[in-house]
Amino acid sequence: MTHPPPGTPSDGIDLALHQVGVRFGGLVALDDVTLRVPAGRIVGVIGPNGAGKTTLFNVVCGFVAPTSGSLTLDGRPFRPRPHRLTHFGIARTLQGVGLFPGLTVLENVMAGASHAARAGFAAALFGLPRSDRDERRLRERALDLLAELGVAQHAAAAPATLPYAVRKRVALARALIARPRLLLLDEPAGGLGADDIAELGELITALPGHADGACSIMLVEHHMDLVMSVCDEIVVLDFGKVIAAGPPDHVRDDPKVTEAYLGADVPTEVTGTAPSRGAGS
């Protein structure tokens, strides 16, 4: 990995959660969770079914308000709101794909641009006057990103006609076009085969040092092998609590982590996914 040294402004955003708790009625989904995604680093969040991973993701996106605790971005108080994420330099991909079915691949990626850049695109959609130059730039950048992710040949296609793995890459391009300084990925390997996961790992590893500007990444993921191979640090949740945190080797060897996964060995093979505790999701 060729990550830039931390601490320079172009490194991405430093995200921190401080003693965050989330309750759903009597159920404690997150309990006193403190974690940090340092600038320019890739931090994985893993844990068995029902551990609180999605809840954590939703807290950072602003879909779920914490019952206690606080968040900071680059050390400043941060109250996430879903519609304000781009304003903070944050982009996300959701579990599944979530592309607009009525738009082409290229249009989907363009639609992910920041509000300012998208004004031209929206104007184009609705036939309003707009800046041709802005739109041309946005289109070029969307095509560049699709090429970088190896799917430019599908630019004119409707998403529904494409294989799942291609659609996942388009969704990633749509997140990247906003030039995020913090990228939140929810189960990016979900539904992918072994080869696609390995390629995805390479793509993700390259993102923090991206030529367009570095970003930090928070990766919520079931596929243990992907998390182990791309993350600088891993946070393990169990029943809403952080039970282990540290570099992949450290976490892999932690008996608390193995125990959380019902005594099963943490799988490391390419197709491995975290064993299920059967709680459903």
Ligand X SMILES: Nc1ncnc2c1ncn2[C@@H]1O[C@H](COP(=O)(O)OP(=O)(O)OP(=O)(O)O)[C@@H](O)[C@H]1O
The residue ranges that bind Mg ion (CB under 5 A) are 53-54
- Euclidean distance between CA atoms 253 and 261, whole angstroms: 13
44 binds ligand X (CB under 6 A): no
Could you tell me which of 66, 83, 2, 96 has the C-alpha nearest to residue 40?
Answer: 2
Nearer to ligand X (CB atom), residue 40 or residue 52: 52
Nearer to Mg ion (CB atom), residue 56 or residue 109: 56
User: What is the per-residue binding string for ligand X in 52-91, x denoting contact by CB under 6 A?
Assistant: xxxx------------------------------------
Nearer to Mg ion (CB atom), residue 53 or residue 141: 53
Continuous H helices in the chain: 53-61, 105-111, 115-125, 132-148, 164-176, 194-206, 224-230, 248-252, 255-260
> Least distance from C-beta 243 to ligand X, angstroms?
13
**What are the phi and psi torsion angles at 209 (to 5°)?**
-100, 20
46 binds ligand X (CB under 6 A): no
Residue 211 interface partner, choices Mg ion, ligand X, none, CB cut-off 5-8 Å depending on type? none
> Least distance from C-beta 278 to ligand X, angstroms?
10
> Least distance from C-beta 275 to ligand X, angstroms?
11
Taking the chain, what is the end-to-end CA distance rounded to the nearest angstrom? Answer: 33
Q: Pseudo-torsion of CA 101, 103, 104, 105, nearest 10°? A: -70
Taking CA atoms, 63 is separated from 44, 66, 107, 160, 172, in Å, by: 20, 10, 26, 27, 20
275 binds ligand X (CB under 6 A): no
27 binds ligand X (CB under 6 A): yes
Q: Which residue is nearest to ligand X, using beta carbons?
A: 281
With beta carbons less than 8 A apart as the criterion, state whether 139 and 155 touch.
no
- Candidate list 8, 24, 34, 65; residue touching ligand X; CB under 6 A: 24
Q: Which residues of this protein are in contact with ligand X, per CB under 6 A?
A: 24, 27, 29, 47, 49-55, 281
